[in-house]
A and B are shown apart, each in its own frame.
Chain A
Amino acid sequence: DAGVTQSPTHLIKTRGQQVTLRCSPKSGHDTVSWYQQALGQGPQFIFQYYEEEERQRGNFPDRFSGHQFPNYSSELNVNALLLGDSALYLCASSLFRGEAFFGQGTRLTVV
């Protein structure tokens, strides 16, 4: 059984560009949450998707958007990248309100 998989693992983008990160949840999980983790900080909640809808959202600007597909996989889109968006982006899957399992993350560098 594959766990949570994220792609790509590393990415370098230029300021102002747009990026799409992808996440496939653990088999049987229907909820996907996205986090941003800066170096030395705890993961910051971006948003959560359940039944293809955004259910909760953290304190992130509208440049951060997402989508969940019928197969429960999810995408995180970030527009107009800023240098400060450089971070590890973690995807976690769970059953709704259950324990979360994380992917290995996508390390995004904005130059």
Chain B
Amino acid sequence: RKEVEQDPGPFNVPEGATVAFNCTYSNSASQSFFWYRQDCRKEPKLLMSVYSSGNEDGRFTAQLNRASQYISLLIRDSKLSDSATYLCVVNNDMRFGAGTRLTVKP
């Protein structure tokens, strides 16, 4: 089993749709989790941290499920500008998932 696994994607959704990504991790002792966004041929940029109680930032909601060892990212009311690759990171191990590509279409 890979240390960090993500939904393979790609996800192609219309504008306004709600889309969710999951990411599972293998190290039960992991403590810190993040979602990053990477645009084509650019570096990854921090989208949001994932807290135990779950957290929301505008249209984005991140959740952590320690029992099942996964984190999720929910994007509501998708915009064209949300098109990117979304990467989950388990920071103790500094491991990235392979990324899930999202394309939001008009």
Decide whether A and B assemble into one complex: yes
Q: How many residues does chain A have at the interface if contact means C-beta atoms less than 8 Å apart?
A: 21
Which of B54-62, B75-83, B89-97 contacts the other chain?
B89-97
Residues of A within 8 A of B99 (CB): 41-42
Interface Cβ pair total, 8 Å cutoff: 49
Residues of B within 8 A of A72 (CB): none
Residues 25-60 (chain A) with a chain B CB within 8 angstroms: 33, 35, 41-45, 48, 56, 58
Interface SS, B side: loop
Q: Are A101 and B92 in contact (CB under 8 A)?
A: no
Q: Are A102 and B43 in contact (CB under 8 A)?
A: yes
Instruction: Check: A1 CB closer than 8 A to any chain B CB.
Output: no
Instruction: Check: B25 CB closer than 8 A to any chain A CB.
Output: no
Residues of B within 8 A of A42 (CB): 6, 87, 96-99
Q: A-contacting residues of B (Cβ < 8 Å)?
A: 6, 31-32, 34, 42-46, 49, 87, 89, 91-99
